[in-house]
A and B are shown apart, each in its own frame.
Chain A
């Protein structure tokens, strides 16, 4: 079967791929915004009075977390717009509609961020939830923006399904993609409601937060990495499809009921403790499979590729996903440990490593593949001296950031929870303890080195492949 569908060739890009370039550009821009607000928070840990009333921690955190979700999703969707015409051999159906909703979304995101920044909070009524901030972590976007996001995903889904039907060829990859996107779109609506019962509120809130990042996003990444490996290494379709099916079986087979690890302590029945512990302990399995897959393919080709930065980000993705999501997740997922570590800085350590590995790694792979194809003449293999600096600096920095969170998390778990009994005073005692407080400086340092890595990355993306011909 054809494996060279996406190999670089001189020629015009599809309209869908041109749209993908806009997706990637905005993703990188929002990534910069995420880092900026992360830096501000890292400094507020050291100097809590810094901008206390004008730009408090909560506002920085809202923007840090929200821009992350949006830029990663935008990057992943950009990847689909990039590969879809190559997979189906035709222009994406409904591309005009896709472009229209894209600019609506860009305008919407701008408004949402400006409101977060300058309005921040509102009165305790439905108006605030509709127009300022929904006040629920990760899905903070006001309700009007939720509706815009649903419309956006619906049009995206239409593009994918209509293009597949028009091509009259449903490959295994497209089948999984459609199956996954339907679930991804439907799950978002579970988070769009208000209920006073905080237990039920959080129960359904996790359908978005967990079933997005630990199930449907992981599968979406599986599809995109499958296409990327076919492009980068020429891996046969049959092989990547079999691996993808195995990954879907394991991700959905363990992740759907692994949701139970969020239902240990929110007022839900006790059977969730056993179920959540059992299935979430199995959740690292698909991540191990992905590492084996990536290593096997790279090794089989002796790292010979058409695009070095993309391949190295793909390898970082496999390891980062396993270490950040798998190991750091497993470390605190069993209820016997989680009772003490839940809601401490350990969760932040896991979050930073997991998102970096699983999703940032994927989006970087996709962006480098796209960049290779917009420069003329196309450079094969794509390489530069700067990408590896950004690559190493960002990986070292995120390990430093997650490492310092891990240490403050261990200290908090022990001091606040185990020794002092989880109260307000226990919390103050834990975060003023040197074991915890010392990590603030380390994290701030690594936040700056991460920022430098980002700036080098941007410079490299703007210049790579421009200087010499193939």
Chain B
């Protein structure tokens, strides 16, 4: 899109005001007529702009179009790098590593992540955790869960797993058995297929460009 947010904001307010004033010629600014026109005009103008921006956004957030990664990103190493121009962290894709010991085709990866999203919803994760910052506030934000250093530092030694995905699966199989901190996660009875799918979803989500949220991930002062 070729317009900046300031241009859109100024245009939205300007168009609403001008149309209201033209429609309300002769009515004082304290009259019901003026404000009735203002209500109708501003609602319609803002709705129109929202619909236009929605089409633009929908195009930009297609997997692979820039902000949201391709499904096959789960086959690669993912990390965050500091972008000096944007002054924030952005996800970067590294070498091919495979996922659970294999390389997933486009179609296989989609099916897996789709199953992972269904699992995320069916287990009501959002009522304790946050997904992209949204949800309840009882447990960690899962946006960058795949990239969390805790898996290597604590969970891999604890479970004896060789890879991060195996450590995540081993821990999520029965979280109350290996509590981390006073707040415990209940056992959500995830089966092996669901575990693999859920972890694929989390890995894919960790490569979404979230404009730098959550801030300074993994940077300890």
Contacts and interface: CB of A to CB of B under 8 A. Distances in A.
B122 A196 contact: no
Contacts of B127: 57-59, 61-62, 65, 137, 140
Interface in A117-133: 120-126, 128-129, 132-133
B39 A339 contact: no
B103 interface: no
B137 A199 contact: no
A245 interface: yes
Given A58-B127, A343-B137, A423-B149, A253 B46 contact: yes
B157 interface: no
* Highest count of chain B CB atoms <10 Å: which of A65, A201, A268: A268
B217 A422 contact: yes
Contact of B1 (A140, A249, A256, A271): A271
Nearest to B86: A270
Interface stretch (B93-101, B108-116, B159-167): B108-116
A197 B186 contact: no
13 contacts: A52-B186, A135-B125, A137-B136, A245-B36, A249-B43, A262-B134, A267-B210, A273-B5, A418-B221, A421-B218, A422-B214, A423-B217, A423-B218
A196 B182 contact: no
Contacts of A132: 122
Interface of B: 1, 3-6, 8-9, 12, 16, 30-32, 35-36, 38-39, 42-43, 46-47, 49-50, 53-54, 56-58, 60-63, 67-68, 110, 113-128, 130-141, 143-145, 148-150, 176, 180-184, 186-190, 194, 197-198, 201, 205, 208-221
What's the dominant secondary structure at chain A's contact region?
helix
A462 to B, nearest CB: 34
A455 interface: no
A279 B53 CA distance: 15
A410 interface: no
B5 A124 contact: no
* Highest count of chain B CB atoms <10 Å: which of A59, A136, A259: A136
B190 to A, nearest CB: 8
A137 B126 CA distance: 6
A417 B46 contact: no
B184 A274 contact: no
Contacts of A53: 176, 186-187
A356 interface: no
Interface in A98-141: 120-126, 128-129, 132-137, 140
Nearest to B116: A124
Contacts of B6: 274
Considering the complex of A and B, which 3 residue pairs feature the smallest CB-CB distances, nearest first?
A: A274-B5, A135-B121, A124-B119
B188 A52 contact: no
A431 B180 CA distance: 12
A414 B82 CA distance: 21
A248 interface: yes
A242 B31 contact: yes
Given A266-B134, A273-B5, A424-B180, A140 B124 contact: yes
A417 B16 contact: no
A43 B183 CA distance: 12
A52 B149 CA distance: 26
Contacts of A133: 121-122, 124
Contacts of B67: 199, 267-269
Given A52-B184, A202-B132, A278-B5, A256 B217 contact: no
A94 interface: no
B215 A417 contact: yes
A424 B136 contact: no
A463 interface: no
A58 B118 contact: no
Given A198-B201, A431-B183, 11 more contacts: A45-B138, A53-B186, A124-B116, A242-B31, A249-B43, A257-B49, A271-B5, A343-B137, A421-B220, A421-B221, A422-B216
Contact of B57 (A49, A120, A203, A253): A203
A422 B141 contact: yes
B184 A48 contact: yes
Nearest to B110: A196
A269 B110 CA distance: 23
